[in-house]
Amino acid sequence: MITVRFPSGFSVQYNSSGFIEGPDEKGVTRLREKRGGIVLIARVPKECLIEMISPCRTYNAASSSAESEMKRQLDALRKEVRTLTRKVGKVKL
């Protein structure tokens, strides 16, 4: 996986590209599918930044920090509702 960052800040991620060829005499770099491959994915001008990163990431989405924080807050709200319900039940009008 290769990411191309343009000077404007815009980025394009090429998932199928795995090989960088060049730059040529005009400063253009070519992104290809694989080494020696005939499939040309993109031509990148010399002004751009090319990043090559591993396409693999492992994580457990169910235990993400944001979700666990929301669960904690929800549990706290449930507890507070139970407490208030008990107090309202004890009040005589």
Q: Are 15 and 1 in contact (CB under 8 A)?
A: yes
First to last CA, the chain: 68
What's the CA gap between 21 and 65, in Å, rounded? 40
Q: Give the start-to-end residue ranges of the domains of the chain.
A: 2-52, 63-90
The overall average pLDDT reported for the chain is 82
Label residue 45 by pLDDT band (50, 70, 90).
Answer: very high
DSSP state of 61: G
Coil, strand, or helix at residue 33? Answer: coil
pTM equals 0.52
Q: What is the pLDDT of residue 57?
A: 56
What's the CA gap between 3 and 11, in Å, rounded? 7
Selected residue with higher pLDDT from 83 and 70:
83
Q: Within 13 Å and on the Cβ side, how many CA atoms surround 45?
A: 4
